[in-house]
Structure 1
Amino acid sequence: MLEGLGVRVVEREIVSEQDAERAGFVGSPTLRVDGEDLFPTDEPPGLTCRIYRLADGRISPTPDPDALRTALAERRHGRA
């Protein structure tokens, strides 16, 4: 559980381009809630590193913390 919120964290290893295609995996890290990407992108599926933009415009290997909090709160309250 994630900090007592009733969240189950599932890690899935994608080891081939075929796995990526089947899973709609567009790079690591991909964060999903109920199977939906928290940060949808038009990038094609593949074994790659994912790039995110921080609020100040910098490139990051992880989502902006505030954007992640907002996306999770929206999912929690039924707004996707």
Structure 2
Amino acid sequence: MIEFQYFEGCPNAKETLNNLILLVEEGFLKKDEVKITKIESPEDAQKLNFQGSPSILYNGIDIYTLEKPSNYTYNCRTYFINGKLTGVLPKEFIKERIEKLKNVRK
């Protein structure tokens, strides 16, 4: 299960979600294995160990940290990818991390 987590108002959530949807359209992911979760409050963030908007989890594992979240934050999230700071998870990064996590689980 892929879970996309976000909150309204984070400018990078839409672009990251679009990158995830492209992977569905390309056949890498099935539509029914993607769940979109809108975080409504800091209380929701705490309950779900939300890592910031946007976040993508694969079977409960954060695809960026490759760890199960154990704490939470209610902020827009940034990532350090390919030597650059960004708030958007690129499509290829998402695909690589999901492949890596799928292989670990086998």
Q: Give the TM-score, by structure 2 length.
A: 0.59
Match of 1:62 in 2: 88
Higher helix share: 2
How many Å separate the matches in 1 of 2:38 and 2:94?
22
Deviation, structure 1 residue 20: 0.3
Stretches of 4+ moved more than 3 A in 1? Answer: 4-7, 64-67
Greater RCO (CA < 8 Å, at least 6 residues apart): 2
- Superposed CA deviations along residues 9-35 of structure 1, whole A, max 9, x for unmatched, are 100111111110110001011010111
Higher strand share: 2
Residue identity over aligned pairs, in percent, reads: 22
Unaligned 5+ runs, structure 2 = 1-23
For residue 46 of structure 1, the aligned residue among 60, 63, 73 is 73
Q: Please tell me the root mean square deviation across aligned C-alpha atoms, in Å.
A: 2.7
Q: Give the TM-score, by structure 1 length.
A: 0.75
1:30 aligns with 2:59: no
Match of 2:102 in 1: 76
